[in-house]
Every structure is written in C-alpha cells, then in structure tokens.
A and B are shown apart, each in its own frame.
Chain A
Amino acid sequence: MTEFLLNICHLDAYYGKSHILQGIDLQVRSGELVVVVGRNGMGKTTLLRSVLGLSPVQRRGEIVFNGLETVKKLTHEIASMGVGYVPQGRLLFPSLTVDEHMQFVCRNKKKESRWTPEEVYNLFPELRQRARVNGGRLSGGEQQMLAIGRALVTNPLLLMMDEPSEGLAQIVIKRVEQVCRHLVSEGMAILLVEQNLEMAQGLADRAFIFYNGRIAYEAPGDTFRREREKVGSFLGI
C-alpha cells in the first residue's frame, strides 16, 4: 500500500443536524493533483472545511494527514502541520497590504524553505508591483494570486483550493492552471475543488464527483477526461 499524504476514511460531516458528507473515502498522494467536482450544495466545500476542522463543521471518521490523525486537533494545529488553504472567495485581510499578507503568514523562515515572499513575487510578478496595496483594493485575479501566495508562504505539503477559477477571466484561469501544474511537478499535493469542468479535466491526476454528500464517481485523470458523457450526467450538463 502506498503511503498517502492525506487519507480520509469514512468521513461524516455535519452542520448542526444536517448530515452533509456521508461516508467519504478519499486519498491524496504527494505530487498528485486530485480534483473534486460536483454541482452546488453537494458537499465539496464542506470536504475542505472538514479537513481543516473549520467551524461549524462537525466531523466523524478518520482523517490522517502526513501520518497523524487530525480529527481531534484544532484548526490552527492542522493548518500548521502543512495544510494550505485557498478558500472560496479568497478571504483576504482587507486592510492588510499584499506585502503584510506575505510577511506575517510566512512560516518556517529559518529552515531552508521553498516558498518565501520573494519566491511568490517571482511566481506572480503582478503582485510585486502591488505590494503596498491593501488586500481589499486588488482586482479579482490579483486577489486570487495573493490567496495562493498567502497559502504558499506557509510552505504547505498539501494545498487545498476551493474554486480558484470563480469569477476570473479566462486568461487568469490559465495562469492559475499553469501554477497548479508547476507546483505539482515540484512534488506538492493539491486537492482542488472546481465547478469549471474544463479546468478540472485539464488538471486532474485523479477525479472524484460528489453527489448529495457521497462519492458518485471516482476515476484516474485519463478516464475522467474520456468519459465526458458519464461525467456530464452527474453534473447535469
């Protein structure tokens, strides 16, 4: 059996009494890009929130990250184990500047870490020019880049991205795709939740389709790209 970076077994997640995720089994290996697709309200975002234990999600089951059980841990503990999160809607700090976002989130400075603010600016040169601008005053594309950069400077092992293509121009989506490929080629694991099927199919090493809180479809990337009709039927296209 291969060692998984993230191993989710029989995960049930609840918002109060509503049972959102029902018996999810999902694995991510290092250097692998796993895509989760599904229509609205199928539990995709809840999956990412469950991994981090963000309130108000309540979790039951097993989530093993990097060899350690995390269901009983607190959000900040899980995040500092190496889970980077790029949330839907970016969720930046509106009154902090781009540079401040990078500086104070930057972690593991002393160790020889891959991602420093400087490296992120090299990846997204646009951000360097906007270094002194407040998070709330960036364009959508810049916000997305900053959200990714903010997650990268924590030097995560796993990057979880929630609908990074939402509300972005095609050209920016292409940039985000490139960046994802680049990161995976460096050995980072990415768990990507997407509505944009084209982007999902372009990137997936493995794909899952969520339907009403369960996994309705699971396939390697190539099969996922081939079975357009079957995939479409789950997504109501």
Chain B
Amino acid sequence: MIKERFFLYRKTFLALIVAGIFISIPWVTSDFFVLMAIRVMYFGMLTMSLTFLAGELGVVSLMQASFFGIAGYFVAILQTRYGLPFPFPPLVGIAVSLIIAGLLGMLVIRVRGIYFLMLTLVLGQLVWALASQWSSVTEGDTGIMNVYAPVLFGISMEKSKTAFYYFQLFFFAGATWFLIALRRSPFGLMLRGIRESESRMRMLGYPVSLLRYAAFVFAALVAAIGGVFFVYFMGLINPSSVSLATNVETLLAAILGGINTLAGAVLGTGILKTLDVVLSGITKRYLLFMGIMFLFVILFAPKGIIGTVRNYGRSFLSPLMRWFGLGED
C-alpha cells in the first residue's frame, strides 16, 4: 500500500514536470516556438483521437479529420456569416460534429479491420467532397476566411499568441486528461475486455457494439475540440483540412510517435510538423525526405518512437521510467 502510494506521488510528480514544461514554453522560448507549439497541440488533439481509437478499439480511422473540420467549418460559418457571439460557435460546432459522429458511428462501428479503414476513408472523402463542392455554404475550395479568435477576460486571443497558447493549453490538457481518465475508468477496462474477446464480453452481459460506439463518439469529441482551435488560430478553413492528405498525415504522425499511445500522438505530431517547417525551408523536395524517414520508421521501429524506446531503451531509460511508475503499460 505504501509503495503504491509512493508510485502515485511519482506519477503526480511526472505530471507536474510535463505541465511545467508546457506552461513555461512561452517564457523560455521564442515566438516561433510558441506558434509551433500551438499547431502541435491542435493537430495533436486530432492525432490523439486517432490513436485512442487505434489503441482502445484496434481500428484505424481515416476520417478523424472530418470531425476536426466539421467543428472548424461550423465555427467559421456561424461567426462570419451569422455573427454569433463567442461561446456559441464552438459549442454548436462541437455539438454538430458529435451528432455527425453519432450518425456515422452507427454505420462504421459494425465493421472491423480493413473494412473499417475503407469505410472511414469513403465517409471522410464524402465530407471533403461536400466541403469542396457545396460552395453556397462552404465557399468551395477558397474556404472561409476572416475567422477571429475570441476576446476572453479582456484579452484578445487574436492579438496575443501567448494568451491563445494558454487558452488552448487549458483545453488540450483537459482533452488529454479526459482520454487518460477514460482509459483508466471501468469503461476503459471494458474496452480492453472487448479487445481481448468480444464474444466473452457478450457472454458476460456487455453491449459490445454500444461500448465501441461510445468510444468512437468520445474520440470524435477530442478531434472536434482540436478543429475549433485550428480555425481560430489559422483564421480560415478550406477543404484541405478535411482532405485525405490531412487524414493520412494524422495517421503518419500516429505511426511515427507510436500508434496506440497518447504521448506518442503528441510526440509524432510535434516531430512531423517541425520537420514540415524546417525541411520545406531547406529544400523543395522535403516530401521525399519525409517519405524516406517513414520508410525507416516502418522498417526499423514499427511501434513508433514510444514503442521503440520501451523495447530497446530499457538499458538506460527503463530505470527512469520505472521510477516514475511507467514500467509496463
């Protein structure tokens, strides 16, 4: 019992360190880094929603960007066209995104494996086609511009990127906590049971499909929150944010970091977005380098960075990880 509580303290300690790093970013680094961190956080929420589904349900979705984009589009439309005041566009946007996830979820949750991938691909492309073709609502390929971040407590999130950073950090931390708490809750335990054997769960009286469905909607919620911050930060949204390219990039970020961990999702997104900026500044052929990098990751570190550190980094990292109570997870 005492040992257990000690581990708990260490985990809190680790959480404090991580929180400290995130909170101190605007103080100790440059503006450029703050902007990068903002991008990494909202795309990170998108990637986390993918890795949550991959880790908890064992399925790969190619439509998480749709929920991200639908929320973003609704914020943009409600704000620029109907002039709704602040809390309403994001609330409605997230709600609509959840409703659509609820409707499409009934369809996709019935299938597994490659069929899930194909079905989400098709539905994701459908959302993209709507965004691109339904010009009267979405302004077509031009997209909707001039979306402004709100003013909160007298501070304009549009003018102060530091304020925006903290505003987003609050929700980013909330979304991360939400997914971790879900994982550890009885609900998360049931999902683990389903992953091991669906028929055994049925036999014990669990509505397997309903639980999977709920997980799908929860994942969409996190993606939708990311989408709101995306549109506030960029000030515009166009069909490329719900395109297949965005979905694939999300998947790549997840694979790079480690597909079934939340930390991997953020790490992978961070590396991918940084390389994106750095490499594209150096060479026009940066996609080629990205491709080669992925080749290496898939060949030599198929479990991603987090998975590889867990497997091979035992010698020097494992004492540290064990000290923090992160030995096996």
- Residues of B181-201 at the interface with A, using a CB-CB cut-off of 8 Å, are 186, 189-190, 192-193, 196-197, 199-201
Question: When chains A and B are docked, how far (Å) is the Cα of A78 from the Cα of B205?
Answer: 7
Given contacts A54-B199, A55-B199, A104-B186, A79 and B193 within 8 Å (CB-CB): no
Q: When the two chains form their complex, are residues A154 and B205 in contact, meaning their CB atoms are under 8 A apart?
A: yes
Question: When chains A and B are docked, how far (Å) is the Cα of A74 from the Cα of B199?
Answer: 12
- Residues of A128-177 at the interface with B, using a CB-CB cut-off of 8 Å, are 150-151, 154
Question: When chains A and B are docked, how far (Å) is the Cα of A105 from the Cα of B204?
Answer: 7
A94 contacts partner chain B, Cβ-Cβ < 8 Å: yes
Q: A75, A87, A103: which has the most chain B beta carbons within 10 Å?
A: A75
Given contacts A96-B189, A100-B189, A75 and B196 within 8 Å (CB-CB): no
Q: When the two chains form their complex, are residues B203 and A94 in contact, meaning their CB atoms are under 8 A apart?
A: no
Within the complex, which residue of A80, A87, A95, A104 is in contact with B190, where a contact is CB–CB below 8 Å?
Answer: A104
Q: When the two chains form their complex, are residues B203 and A95 in contact, meaning their CB atoms are under 8 A apart?
A: no
B326 contacts partner chain A, Cβ-Cβ < 8 Å: no
Chain B residue nearest to A49 (CB atoms) is B203
B202 contacts partner chain A, Cβ-Cβ < 8 Å: yes
Q: When the two chains form their complex, are residues B189 and A104 in contact, meaning their CB atoms are under 8 A apart?
A: yes
A93: chain B residues at CB < 8 Å are 192-193, 196-197, 200
Count of chain A to chain B residue pairs whose CB atoms are closer than 8 Å in the complex: 56
Question: When chains A and B are docked, how far (Å) is the Cα of A79 from the Cα of B202?
Answer: 8
A52 contacts partner chain B, Cβ-Cβ < 8 Å: yes
A75: chain B residues at CB < 8 Å are 202-203
How many residues of B are counted as interface, with CB atoms below 8 angstroms from the partner's CB atoms? 17
B196: chain A residues at CB < 8 Å are 93-96
B208 contacts partner chain A, Cβ-Cβ < 8 Å: yes
B192: chain A residues at CB < 8 Å are 93, 95-96, 100
Question: When chains A and B are docked, how far (Å) is the Cα of A91 from the Cα of B198?
Answer: 11
Question: When chains A and B are docked, how far (Å) is the Cα of A80 from the Cα of B204?
Answer: 7
Question: When chains A and B are docked, how far (Å) is the Cα of A93 from the Cα of B203?
Answer: 13
Q: When the two chains form their complex, are residues B203 and A87 in contact, meaning their CB atoms are under 8 A apart?
A: yes
Chain A residue nearest to B188 (CB atoms) is A104
Chain A residue nearest to B185 (CB atoms) is A104
B206: chain A residues at CB < 8 Å are 76, 79
Q: When the two chains form their complex, are residues B205 and A104 in contact, meaning their CB atoms are under 8 A apart?
A: no
Chain A residue nearest to B193 (CB atoms) is A93
Q: When the two chains form their complex, are residues A76 and B202 in contact, meaning their CB atoms are under 8 A apart?
A: yes
Chain A residue nearest to B203 (CB atoms) is A85
Chain A residue nearest to B211 (CB atoms) is A76
Given A80-B205, A93-B200, A103-B186, 4 other A-B residues pairs in contact with their CB atoms under 8 A: A54-B203, A76-B202, A76-B207, A77-B205
